[in-house]
Structure 1
Amino acid sequence: MTVGIVVSRADSASVRIGEQLRERADWERDDEGGSSGGPEHIARYVADGFELLAFDPWHLELDGVAAAFEDLDFLVFASRHAGETGPLLTAHFTGNFGAAEHGGSDRALAAACPNAHHAVVRALDEHTPEGYDAGMECTHHGPTAVGAPSMFVELGSSEAEWADDVGAAAVADAILDLRGVVPQTERTVVAFGGGHYVPRPTRIVAETDWAVGHVAADWCLDDLGDPREGRDVIERVFAASGATRAVVDGEKPRLREVLDDLGYDVVSETWLRETTGVALDLVADLEAAVASVDDGLRFGERAREATADAEYILVDHPDDLWADAHSVDSDAALAATSANAFAYTTEENGNRVAGEIALPDADAYDAYVDALAALLGEKYDTVAREDGTIRITDTAFDPAAAADRGVPEGPKYGRLANGEAVAVDGETVAPADVSRERTEIYALADPSEGKGN
């Protein structure tokens, strides 16, 4: 796996990043190496997993630059970022959704490297020096005919930062962290809509295992025009990213219509979060068998440990038992479900479990029921599992019995409920005198009758 690095002598930030790169790895200068194709380089350095070429022209002018490298899997353009953002480290892909005003060709997109981009954005965040922010940008400017998957990794956003060794070192460290990283992943989405600095795609990269390919911000879509007439460009967004799914910021009915007609799935940010770590074939199987994520399906920890073809059983969820356990400790009840299940249906934005539950096997169902019963043990006197049920008994304060003994409503009710005797008309009323035993029986499903996959 070889990462090509492009340094432009016309870009002071690029030169500074190149200097920091050479200080941080064991490079060998080899100006005789490289390929005779593509733009002419003026210096070549090689290190384990990397090949760095320096060029005189600006990055935007380096169409076909991949041909100048001897061997590479993807390219990183070490570049400057210009804008009114303050000190910023950023990464993005290149392309034009409309006219090419800053390099490349009209309505053309360079091949992206989403998995490498996912890695470098996280690395930029890890290495960000004090006073800087790190983030992502939408797809913009050239070159568009690079010849290999590529991305820009940038130091910004003004002359002060372009000359800053600390900022340049952070970018260099993030690039060097790409050693051994593959450029592509099937867990890739493209994104449409939002601002130039793409908050939703940035969250997806930072907080899920999904990578984001090309991003068409709102202004990019303005350049594109009517999506029904820009179907070819939309197709290129997916092809250049290696993606079949998209996230869309805002309604954008015409765009959604085109995406649907082209056969691409539009997924929610919630879907990407919930499917993180779960094999996609298993996701598809469980959504078909139980419910969709958008309709409340949630995946448990067991799904994130399972293979794509893992077997499971579908069982009616013990809704009433879970609700009672939830009243004891809501977080613990949710954690018990997540710890034991492949997937489960929810209500109230995922905060209440109800419906069906998919579990690896009957043993997992038993462990789940036992975990809920243990929570009830904190609330009730006795909790017993017997004959396919959970039976609870509890002795509790009975207001009607207290009224019969002449106890006035008010503080004395509270004292009796807390186990303290009270005096009424010169007589002592003990908690046991005004208590009643309550029995509740929760029926359990027979996991042996659960529907398998």
Structure 2
Amino acid sequence: MNLIIASNADSASINLRDRLLEMSSWRKCGEYDGNDMWEINENQGDYCKKGTRLISIDNIHIKAERIDEDYGKKENVKINNIIFLSRHKAASGKPSLTVHPIGNWGKAEYGGEEGKITPASPKIMTSLLREIKENQLEGFDVCFEATHHGPLLTTPTIFLEIGSTENEWEDKLPARALIKSLLEVKYISGKNVVGIGGGHYTPRFTEAALTHKVNFGHMVANYGVPFLNNEVIKNAIEFSCAEGVYFHKKAMKKSTYREIKENLEKENIVVFEQADYSKIMQNSYN
């Protein structure tokens, strides 16, 4: 079963949860963490299949360490994938709709554990990005974010976020756009890759995902590159079910790019170019 998690400590998360209950048919099926637990009544897109559950927690979600194990044991269920509903905060204040994997390449300042990552969901996350782009609101950016923050889980997980200020977090319009995307998402197959290089908002990886059949798992922004070595990259590949690596090389120091690329090739790890992906022939993102 798939699981969706909201946090009562996050106004955007509450907004998204309420829109999800409003825009699709659910039934109460018990309690978790003292809050109502819900199960969807019918198939809605490729993620919200009948039986998908929605829970709320009182703690902030980035601190919900190993909640998958706790929930699975208490409910005697196997969780296949998790989506957290969340706010996104940025100093720029730019309105945005984002998705990203979770984990820490270095220190764990916002949940999780130092140097550890949670399995990613490349097909789900990338397909969801495309669907959000279809439902993009005027004035809102749509993009991936690089892998960051907790919690640390063993189940493939992504965060679905409204940014970047309280005005957007509590606005029903962007919440409805994200929930519409979640309820209508259709998966597109493609090569799974790990992205390395560029800024936190991964413009190159976002552009590639919107135009080509490539699904991104973990993504390492330039600030995470100093923590990389072959073993860390191999782990990211494994946790992304990836076939290789894709660089935003123009956004990296040439010497750093060359060093990482040469080390990966010595380990027979495939380095992809955009020409290796087939194009998505029909879309309306513009």
Under a length normalisation based on structure 1, what TM-score does the superposition of the two structures give?
0.55
Partner in structure 2 of residue 118 of structure 1: 126
Q: How far apart, in 2, do the equivalents of 1:112 and 1:257 lie?
A: 25
Q: Could you tell me which residue of structure 1 aligns to residue 56 of structure 2?
A: 54
1:6-27 residue CA offsets vs partner (Å, 9 max, x unmatched)? 1000011000000000001110
Aligned residue type for 1:20? R
Deviation at 1:270, TM superposition (A): 2.3
The answer as to whether partners of 2:105 and 2:224 remain within 8 angstroms in 1 is yes
The answer to whether structure 1 residue 27 and structure 2 residue 26 are counterparts is: yes
Q: Distance in 1 between matches of 2:65 and 2:160?
A: 17
SS in 1 for 2:239: helix
Residue in structure 1 matched with residue 103 of structure 2 by the alignment? 95
Determine if the alignment matches structure 1 residue 43 to structure 2 residue 36: yes
Match of 1:261 among 266, 269, 278: 266
**Aligned equivalents of 1:187 and 1:143: distance in 2?**
27
Q: Does 1:167 align with 2:174?
A: yes
Q: What corresponds to 2:284 in structure 1?
A: none
The partner residue of 1:176 within 183, 186, 191 is 183
The aligned amino acid for 1:110 is T
The alpha carbon displacement at 1:71 in A equals 4.4
Determine the C-alpha separation between the residues in 2 that align with 1:196 and 1:85. Answer: 15
Q: Is residue 247 of structure 2 the alignment partner of residue 248 of structure 1?
A: yes
User: Match for residue 12 of structure 2?
Assistant: 13
Question: Can you give the 5+ residue segments of structure 2 that lack an aligned partner in the other structure?
Answer: 43-48, 282-286
Find out whether 1:208 has 2:222 as its counterpart.
no
TM-score by length of 2: 0.85
Counterparts of 1:194 and 1:130, CA distance in 2: 25
Matched residue of 2:85: which SS? strand
Higher relative contact order (CA 8 A, sep 6+): 2
After TM superposition, give the deviation of residue 107 of structure 1 in Å: 0.8
Aligned-residue offset at 1:41: 5.7
How many residue pairs are counted as aligned between the two chains?
A: 260
2:46 maps to none
Larger radius of gyration: 1
1:245 Cα offset (Å): 1.4
For residues 260 and 193 of structure 1, the distance between their equivalents in structure 2, rounded to whole angstroms, comes to 17
Determine the C-alpha separation between the residues in 1 that align with 2:115 and 2:54: 29
Q: What is the CA RMSD across the aligned residues, in angstroms?
A: 2.0
Distance 1:171 1:41, change over 3 A: farther
Task: Select 1:194's aligned residue among 195, 198, 223.
Answer: 198
Which structure 2 residues correspond to residues 16-415 of structure 1 after superposition, within 5 A?
A: 16-32=15-31, 40=33, 42-47=35-40, 48=42, 49=49, 50-67=52-69, 68-69=71-72, 70-83=77-90, 84-144=92-152, 146-178=153-185, 181=187, 187-222=191-226, 224=227, 227=228, 230-250=229-249, 251=254, 252-272=257-277, 275-276=278-279
What displacement does 1:43 show? 2.1
AA in 2 matched with 1:213: G
Q: How far is the alpha carbon of 1:133 from its aligned partner?
A: 2.0
Q: Shift of the alpha carbon at 1:204?
A: 1.5
The alpha carbon displacement at 1:244 in A equals 2.2
CA contact (8 A) 1:60 1:104 kept: yes
CA distance in 1, matches of 2:266, 2:107: 25
